[in-house]
Amino acid sequence: MKMEQYKIEIASDHAEAEEFVSWLNNQGHDALIGTSTGNYIDGIWTSTDPEMSEIMNGLWGEYCNS
C-alpha cells in the first residue's frame, strides 16, 4: 500500500527546515521551505486545519524517529 504524497511547505523559521524538507522529498513528497512562518500541506495551513495538522504531526514524528 503506497503512502499518500503531499505538496508540503515548511515554515521558513523552522529550526530543522532544510533537513526536514530533504527527508520529506526522499519520502516522495513535493516539499520546500516556504517564505512564511506557516506550515502548509496541499495549500492548507496546518495551524487552522485539524486533519492537516494531524498529517504534519505524523510526518514530523516519522522524521524524528528515522
Q: What is the pLDDT of residues 31-58, one digit of tens each?
A: 999 999 999 999 999 999 999 999 999 9
Question: What is the reported pLDDT for 2?
Answer: 54
- Contact criterion met (CB below 8 Å) for 38 and 47: yes
- In the three-class reduction of DSSP (H, G, I as helix; E, B as strand; rest coil), residue 45 is classed as strand
pTM, two decimal places: 0.92
What band does 1 get if pLDDT is binned at 50, 70 and 90?
A: very low
Burial of 38 (C-beta count, 10 Å sphere; 0-12/13-18/19+): middle
Provide, rounded to the nearest whole percent, the portion of the chain with pLDDT above 90.
Answer: 94
Rounded Cα distance between 10 and 4, Å, is 18
